[in-house]
Chains A and B, each alone.
Chain A
Amino acid sequence: MNNYKKWLTAPGTLTLLVFAVAPLFIMLFYSFRNDSGVGFTLQNYVRFFEKSFYLKLTGRTVISSLTVTVISLLISYPLAYIMAKKLKGIRNIVLMLIIIPFFTNQLVRVYSWLIFLQDGGVLEEMLNVLGMAQDGLGILYTRTAVVISLVHIFFPYMVITIYIALERIDNALLEASKSLGASAVTTFFRVTLPMSWSGVVSGILLVFVPCLGCFVEPRILGGVDGMFIGNVIEDQFFEIYGWNFGAAIAFLLFAMVLVAMALIHRMGGEKQ
């Protein structure tokens, strides 16, 4: 690469340094700060592990996030496959349809789910018309509602990363596999899946990681039992200005994300 071309990365690098890396260090600083404002302490981290409910809540957040990731994968892979390998002319239209929800504010989408899922709401009316009448669906204000809305919000990221990976696979390789006697299933598991694995891994990361930290959907759709660990951080920052403890939880979450990323990447590395 020419020397001057390297400098073209400067604005991006600088933005990342100023708005992502530097704030992380500020957060790290706060997470060790004493509540009295003087000196440093491990107390903020100790407190998280002292009370069992913080860990339990984190555990439930991970399970819910994994659920969202798995459902997204099950929806996204077939969709991406059909788009990349079966559709010809209308491919970009389908892509547009997947991307259009991005044009709507996230909060609006959450409120749409509220209206759709609530007792006596759109979904219940639809089921009534179909004769599957059921009074009071009881979906809204549960963790299920949170999972549904998160899948809706994040699965397009997964579709797009997998689609890009599948797009890159030369069709000749698939034909070669078939002409050499492999069944469709064998072709899929021996050729298609391994070659698109990088897209799957990126997709998993793009869905799982933001889910771990979300707090808007759980608060609005989750009811009394739908809380995520992100809500605890939100409460610390906005309700009682407990920046130190809030930063410590955020950092623990960040550490978990790094571990998860390392694991997923190792998975990706072995397959390729």
Chain B
Amino acid sequence: MKKRIALMLLAGAMVVSCLSGCGVKSTSDTDQNGEKQKLYVVNWKDYGSDDADFIAAFEEANNCEIVNTYMSSEEELLTKLRTAKDGEIDVCLPNCSILPAAIEEGLLKEVDSSKLENFEKMFDRFKEQPECIKDGKLYAVPFVWGSTAIAYNTNLIKEAPTSINALFDPQYAGKITFRDDYNDAVMTAALVTGQDANNPKDMDAIKAKLLEQKKLNKTYWKTGDEFSKLFASEQISIGMMWSGQAAFMKQEGQPIAYVVPEDGAIGWVDNWGIAKGSQNEELAYKFIDWMISRDFQYNWAVNGGPAPVNQEAADSLDPEYAAGAGMDETSLNRLTFMQYRTDEVKQTWNELWTEVKSSK
């Protein structure tokens, strides 16, 4: 009898622990405004297109409704594009890591930049971004950008670091946190060893540098939340960090400063594309034009969003705020933007990083 009670308790406990592990997903796809045109957008959650304050004006002006579907990874977006039926996706937001694959497979429509009033207002670098173009044709429009560089605690470090080498500096031993990500690790070590961060040749030098760096860390971090905890409890004083989260933490009142150092750091760009099966092309163009407009980009940037591609929006920002969030033109020009990589390169880089992490 007692055995049975014990087993029941155990079984019950297991069920409960399973249940608590998975959240309940809810879809709020109410179909109240039947006549309104719908624009189907695939985007990250809380990434501009689902902010009611920002999009209300657009929805009203065009008598439409924006229906967001969220992606949790770039690969997932690629799968969605491959499997979507016509009309299921109008606009989506691939970054440069999957964009060439999406274009190659014919998943995106060619974009006519003359239909976008704001296209010419972008920084030149974004008008000619190689990943968006194939055979001289444009397939995607840059939306926002950011960087992965250095953040430090201004209470603990008085002098701003000027080199990416700070993450490799024994002066901060035990107080550094590096990111557990093969791409960030290899690219950063390539910058430090003076190589082209997108096409490093001397992988042994990179491995040696990362092994040397490993001993200086408090720990590696993977999710933004892990970094926040390390920072808030002052376990670390300096670390690799994303521009967006550093700006957010600063707004929260943390003593954090963000630097894109003189010798460079890693940059990324998110781009809007129009899905091959879109039945709403005209509205899709209007939407993209709105997303890269000065007003939208400025408003989002000052409310904790990533850096604008629209030069007018960037110029309107408070210079001090922009510099502090790594959104200024000086930071932009220092970045090496992450490029598309083949699976083979990914495997090689990942294996190198695994070796670094698993060595004693």
Interface residues of A (CB under 8 A from B): 35, 51, 53-54, 56-57, 91-92, 95-96, 99, 102-106, 114, 118-120, 141, 160, 163-164, 167-168, 219-220, 222-225, 227, 231-232, 235-236, 239-242, 245
A103 touching B16 in the complex, CB below 8 Å, given contacts A95-B6, A160-B10:
yes
Can you report 25 A-B residue pairs in the complex whose CB atoms are below 8 A from each other? A35-B343, A51-B355, A91-B2, A92-B2, A95-B5, A95-B6, A99-B9, A102-B14, A103-B17, A105-B21, A118-B233, A118-B235, A120-B233, A223-B217, A223-B220, A224-B214, A224-B357, A232-B358, A236-B350, A240-B343, A241-B75, A242-B343, A242-B347, A242-B350, A245-B347
State the CA gap A242–B343 with chains docked (Å).
Answer: 8
- Quick check: is B25 within 8 A (CB to CB) of the other chain? no
> Which A residues lie within 8 Å of B80 (CB)?
none
B355 adjacent to A223 (CB under 8 Å): no
Interface residues of B (CB under 8 A from A): 2-3, 5-7, 9-10, 13-14, 16-17, 20-21, 75, 180-182, 214-215, 217-220, 222, 226, 229, 233-235, 343-344, 346-347, 350-351, 354-355, 357-360
> Which B residues lie within 8 Å of A168 (CB)?
3
The residue from A114, A224, A232, A245 contacting B229, defined by CB atoms under 8 A apart: A114
A167 adjacent to B357 (CB under 8 Å): no
The residue from A105, A120, A163, A220 contacting B17, defined by CB atoms under 8 A apart: A105
State the CA gap A245–B75 with chains docked (Å).
Answer: 18
State the CA gap A271–B343 with chains docked (Å).
Answer: 52
A92 adjacent to B351 (CB under 8 Å): no
State the CA gap A222–B9 with chains docked (Å).
Answer: 31
The residue from B6, B215, B226 contacting A220, defined by CB atoms under 8 A apart: B226
> Which A residues lie within 8 Å of B357 (CB)?
224, 227, 231
- B contacts with A: majority SS: helix
> Which B residues lie within 8 Å of A163 (CB)?
6
> Which B residues lie within 8 Å of A231 (CB)?
357
A240 adjacent to B9 (CB under 8 Å): no
State the CA gap A57–B360 with chains docked (Å).
Answer: 10
- A contacts with B: majority SS: helix
> Which A residues lie within 8 Å of B351 (CB)?
51
> Which A residues lie within 8 Å of B220 (CB)?
223-224
A99 adjacent to B10 (CB under 8 Å): yes
State the CA gap A220–B347 with chains docked (Å).
Answer: 24
State the CA gap A91–B6 with chains docked (Å).
Answer: 10
B180 nearest CB neighbor, chain A only: A219
State the CA gap A91–B5 with chains docked (Å).
Answer: 11
A53 touching B17 in the complex, CB below 8 Å, given contacts A99-B9, A224-B214, A240-B182:
no
> Which A residues lie within 8 Å of B360 (CB)?
225
